[in-house]
Amino acid sequence: MTGTTGTTGKAVPPGAADGTGTATPATDAAGGTANPASGAAGGTATPALAVRGLTVRYRDVLALDGVDLVVEAGRLTGLVGTNGSGKSTLLKAVMGIVRPDAGSIAVLGHDGAQARRRALLGYVPQAEDVDWTFPLSVRDVVAQGRYGRLGPLRRLRAADREAVDSALERVGLTALADRQIGRLSGGQRKRAFVARCLAQEARVLLLDEPFAGVDVSSQAAITALLRDLVAGGVSALVSTHDLAGLPALADDAVLLHRRVLVRGAPEVVLQPENLALAFGGAR
Ligand SMILES: Nc1ncnc2c1ncn2[C@@H]1O[C@H](COP(=O)(O)OP(=O)(O)OP(=O)(O)O)[C@@H](O)[C@H]1O
C-alpha cells in the first residue's frame, strides 16, 4: 500500500513513497527468492521477517550493504543506529517503497510483494515521509487499513467501519476522528497510524521512529499499546533513537550501520563496547 507522491514531493498518508533517489517504488524485493525456511535464529518457527543479503543504493550512496536480519515472530525488535545508518531504508525496502539492489525479504514465509498483497505488513512511516496537508481525516487514514480487504465495489462495509471505530477507540482518537490528519499533534499522528495498522489487522508491524517528537506520556501509551499487540501475537520491528527506553520497549535489539553490527537482548546491544561500534565512529 504505497502512497501517492503529492505535489510537495512527500507521500500522502496512504504510505510514504519518497520517490527520490535511484531507489524506486518497487513491486517486489530485489526479485530475490524469499526462503521461508531460512534463519529463525536457531528456532523452527517461521520468522516474522527474514532479510538476507539486502543491499540498497541511492545512486552513489550505499545505504544498506548485505543486511542479514531475522525478526522472530511474536516479539518486538528494536532497530537502533546513528542518523543515516539505514534504518528507514530497511523498513522502506520491506514495504516495497524502495527497490533493493540485491537480497531477499520474507515476511511470515511470504515474499515481500505477497506479504503486502495479503496485508500482513502494517507500516508507521517517519513523520517526514508524510504529506500532512493532504485532505484526509483521521478516520480516512485509519480506514486505509481496510483497503486490502474491500470487495469489488471498494466500499467500506459495516465490519470495516466497526474495525475502524474500534481501532480509533483503542488509540484514544475517537473524539478527533473527523479532524484533518495534519491538525493533530505529533503523538496523535503516530497513534493514528498505529490505528491504521490495527484496522488492517496486520501481523507484522514496521514502525519508523514512532517516538520522535512525542511527549513522555504519548510515548508510554504507544509503548504499552505495542506491548499489548505483541502479547496478542503480533510481531514488530521498531526503529528508535531512544536508547534509554529500549529495554522497556523491546524483546530484542539490532544495531545497524549499513549492515547489522550487533543483535541480541537490548541490554547486550546497549553495552558501551557495542554502541561504540556504531556511535563511536569506528565505521
Ligand atoms: N531518498 C534518498 N536519496 C538519496 N540518499 C538517501 C535517500 N534516503 C536516504 N538516503 C541516504 O541513505 C542512507 C541511509 O538513510 P536512512 O534514512 O535509511 O537512515 P536512518 O538510519 O533512517 O537515519 P535517521 O536516523 O536520520 O532517520 C543515508 O546516507 C542517507 O543520506
**Tens of each residue's pLDDT in the chain, 283 residues:** 333 333 333 444 444 333 333 443 343 333 333 333 333 344 568 999 999 999 999 999 999 999 999 999 999 999 999 999 999 999 999 999 999 999 999 999 999 999 998 899 999 999 999 999 999 999 999 999 998 877 677 888 899 999 999 999 999 999 999 999 999 999 999 999 999 999 999 999 999 999 998 999 889 999 999 999 999 999 999 999 999 999 999 999 999 999 999 999 999 999 999 999 988 754 4
State ipTM: 0.98
Q: Does residue 125 come out as left (phi exceeding 0), alpha (psi in the -120 to 50 range) or beta?
A: beta
Amino acid at 136: L
Amino acid at 99: R
Indicate which atom in ligand 1 lies nearest the CA of residue 90: 18
Give, for 64, the enclosing helix (H) or strand (E). strand 61-71
Q: Are 180 and 197 in contact (CB under 8 A)?
A: no
Closest CA to ligand 1's atom 2: 21
With cell 505477497, the residue in question is 114
Indicate which atom in ligand 1 lies nearest the CA of residue 241: 25
The answer for residues whose C-beta is within 8 angstroms of residue 187's C-beta and 6 or more apart is 213, 214, 215, 218, 219, 221, 222
Residues with CB under 6 A from ligand 1: 18, 20-21, 58, 61, 63, 81, 83-89
Distance of CA 139 from the midpoint of ligand 1 (Å): 30
Closest CA to ligand 1's atom 18: 86
Dist CA 261 CA 18 (whole Å): 27
Distance of CA 71 from the midpoint of ligand 1 (Å): 22
The answer for residues whose C-beta is within 8 angstroms of residue 24's C-beta and 6 or more apart is 98, 99
Distance of CA 62 from the midpoint of ligand 1 (Å): 9
Q: Which of 87, 91, 260 to mutate to test the pocket of ligand 1 (most atoms within 8 A of CB)?
A: 87
> Which CATH architecture best describes the domain 73-92+112-279?
3-Layer(aba) Sandwich (3.40)
Dist CA 98 CA 67 (whole Å): 15
Residue 7 has a pLDDT of: 34
Closest CA to ligand 1's atom 27: 83
Q: Are 72 and 40 in contact (CB under 8 A)?
A: yes
The answer for residues whose C-beta is within 8 angstroms of residue 44's C-beta and 6 or more apart is none
Domain ranges of the chain: 73-92+112-279
